[in-house]
Structure 1
Amino acid sequence: MPITVFTKPHCPQCDATKRQFDKLGLPYETVDLSKNPSTLEQLHEAGFRQAPVVITPVDSWSGYRPDLIRAYAKQTAVHA
């Protein structure tokens, strides 16, 4: 299951999150929430209030979290 990064336009935290994944060589898919209002509503219902929302096979979070991105990269390197 791939990493999905739910973003919105002109979002510095979203851009920083994608840069961090790129830097660590972690593949991900992006979903633009401004073009997917039903997905935005689902994320709000799930309790997410900040972009980006990152969903990995083992975790999920919102906002720019370089600590969690690095932890995920280390975890996947161990299992690779």
Structure 2
Amino acid sequence: MNETTVTVYSKPACVQCTATKRHLDGKGLVYRDVDMTENSAALEYVTDDLGYAQAPVVVVDDHNHWSGYRPDLIDKLT
């Protein structure tokens, strides 16, 4: 099975961010969590390059991405 690279761009006190990370944890998926409030380059990437205005933003293998809590898309990763 190929190793999938998942990055969650999140912010503190974000309910959808917490739900996303809990769902990923529950599926046993490994991911990298990037706090956009502490990383201006990550914030710029999410807003300017990807065009999102809502956290979290989940990026899978640098080509598949979405915003918000999407359990349906998380489930497809397993």
TM-score of the pair, normalised by structure 2: 0.86
Which one has the largest radius of gyration? 1
- Looking at secondary structure, tell me which structure has more helix per residue: 1
- Number of the residue aligned with 2:73: 68
Size of the alignment, in residue pairs? 73
**What 5-or-longer segments of structure 2 have no aligned partner?**
none
Q: How does 1:40-51 map to 2 (within 5 A)?
A: 40-45=43-48, 46-51=50-55
Matched, 1:53 2:57: yes
Point out where structure 1 has 5 or more consecutive residues left out of the alignment.
74-80
The alignment status of 1:16 with 2:6, answered yes or no, reads no
Q: Describe the SS at the equivalent of 1:35.
A: coil
Query: Structure 1 vs Structure 2: percent identity of aligned residues?
Result: 48
State the TM-score, normalizing by the size of structure 1.
0.84
What are the superposed Cα offsets for residues 47-68 of structure 1, whole Å, 9 maximum, x if unpaired? 1111000011251101000000
Query: Segments of 4+ in structure 1 off by > 2 A?
Result: none
The offset of 1:71, in angstroms, is 1.0
